[in-house]
Chains A and B, each alone.
Chain A
Amino acid sequence: MNSRELVQFCDEKIFSSFFTNQIDTLHSFIFYKCGNNALASDISQEAFVKFWENCSKILPDKAKSYLFTIANNLFLNNYAKQKVRLNFEKIPQESSNNESPEFLLEVDEFDQKLQGAINNLTEAQRVAFLLNRVDGKTYKEIAVFLDISVKAVEKRIHKALKSLREEIDEL
Chain B
Amino acid sequence: MDKTYYLAKWMNGELSEAELRTYVSAQEIADYKRIISHTNQYKKPTINTSDILDHVLQTKKKSSTSKKRSFAMFYRIAAVIVLSFSVYYFGGTNKEAFNTSTGEKLALILPDHSKVELNAKSDLSYDKKEWKNNRSLLLHGEAYFNVEKGSKFSVQTSNGTVAVLGTQFNVLSRNNNFEVTCFEGLVEVTYQNNTYLVAAQNSLKLVKNTPVLSGINNQNLPYWTLDKSRFKSAPFYQVIEAFERQYELKVTYPEYLKNELYTGEFTHKNNEQALNAIALPFNLTIIHKKQHIVLSK
Chain B window 14-39, contacts with chain A (Cβ cutoff 8 Å), 1 for yes, 0 for no: 00000000000000100110111011
Q: Contact string, A1-38, partner B, CB cutoff 8 A, digits 1/0?
A: 01011011111111111111101100110010000010
* Residue in contact with B76 in the complex, picked from A10, A13, A158, CB distance below 8 Å: A13
Q: How far is the CB of A163 from chain B (nearest CB, A)?
A: 11
Q: Are B35 and A161 in contact (CB under 8 A)?
A: yes
Can you list, as one digit per residue, whether each of A130-171 has a CB less than 8 Å from chain B (1) or not (0)? 101111001110011000000101110110011011001100
Chain B interface, DSSP helix/strand/loop, else mixed:
helix
Q: Which residue of A lies closest to B39 (CB)?
A: A133
What number of A residues sit within 8 Å (CB to CB) of B? Answer: 68
A96, chain B: closest CB distance, angstroms:
16
Is there an interface contact between A157 and B62, defined as CB atoms closer than 8 Å?
no
A41 within 8 A of B: yes
List chain A residues, Cβ under 8 A from B79. Answer: 8-9, 11, 14, 17-18, 60
Interface flag for A74 (CB, 8 Å): no
Q: How far does the Cβ of B96 sit from chain A's closest Cβ, in whole Å?
A: 10
A73 CB, min distance to chain B CBs, angstroms: 17
- Other A-B pairs beyond A90-B41, A111-B38, 12, CB < 8 Å: A11-B66, A21-B80, A40-B47, A52-B59, A53-B60, A91-B43, A129-B39, A133-B40, A134-B44, A139-B12, A158-B8, A162-B7
Q: A93: CB under 8 A from chain B?
A: yes
B62 to chain A, nearest CB (A): 6
Given A2-B113, A40-B45, residue A48 in contact with residue B31 (CB < 8 A): no
Confirm or deny: B226 has a beta carbon within 8 angstroms of a beta carbon on chain A: no
- Which of B40, B49, B84 is within 8 Å of A23, CB to CB? B49
- A65, B226: Cα distance in complex, Å: 31
List, in ascending order, chain A residues with CB within 8 A of B35's CB: 114, 161, 164-165, 168
B-contact bits for A60-72, CB 8 A (1 contact / 0 none): 1101100000000
